[in-house]
Amino acid sequence: MSGDTVIAGSKLVILGTVGGTVGTPSCNDYPITSDCIPSDAISHSVGALHFGPDGKLYISTGDGASFDYADPLSLRAQNLDSLAGKVLRINPDGTAPADNPFFTGDANANRSKIWAYGVRNMFRFNFKPGTNQIF
């Protein structure tokens, strides 16, 4: 920023750098370990972003699957290499903090960025005042 004006060309994507296009619309078109946030249905997509009391950025992602039938894509929420169906915790530069529960030693690995998994459609969350626990 320069005052209240965005500096042209200053955009920096820190999560979800791989994305679908008209030609390749799904994260299924990329390896599961790609930095891709699935959204293959009209719901169950990204929910909330909050900086936590620890200064880390917390992101809730849905499974990117359909809500109106038993969509097999919902199983991505159980896969630690996918960013779908998770609460992610990252540093402001997009890397994973070394104290995340699934940290592999690679601060850029999807698995390293996961704080919690198996959440099908976590569309909102907050931090409980006084305890700083996620709820």
**Gap between the Cα atoms of 81 and 32, Å rounded:** 6
**Per-residue confidence (pLDDT) for residue 84, from 0 to 100:** 92
Q: Which residue has the higher pLDDT, 62 or 103?
A: 103
**Gap between the Cα atoms of 44 and 23, Å rounded:** 22
Asked whether the predicted pLDDT for residue 62 surpasses 80, the reply is: yes
Q: Which H or E element spans position 114? A: strand 114-117
Q: Which residue has the higher pLDDT, 26 or 129?
A: 129
pTM for the model stands at 0.88
**Per-residue confidence (pLDDT) for residue 124, from 0 to 100:** 86
**Secondary structure class of 29 (helix, strand, coil):** helix
Radius of gyration of the chain (CA): 15
Q: Mean of the per-residue pLDDT values for the chain?
A: 89
Q: What residue segments make up the domains of the chain, in order of their start?
A: 27-117
**Gap between the Cα atoms of 5 and 18, Å rounded:** 27
Q: DSSP secondary structure string, 47-91?
A: EEEEE-TTS-EEEEE-----SSS--GGGGGGG-TTS-TTEEEEE-
- Alpha carbons within 13 angstroms on the beta-carbon side of residue 6 total 5
Model pLDDT for residues 89-127, shown as the tens digit of each residue: 999 999 999 999 999 999 999 999 999 999 888 878 999
**Per-residue confidence (pLDDT) for residue 20, from 0 to 100:** 66
Model pLDDT for residues 19-43, shown as the tens digit of each residue: 766 666 678 888 999 999 888 777 7
**Gap between the Cα atoms of 34 and 16, Å rounded:** 9
**Per-residue confidence (pLDDT) for residue 58, from 0 to 100:** 96
**Secondary structure class of 129 (helix, strand, coil):** coil
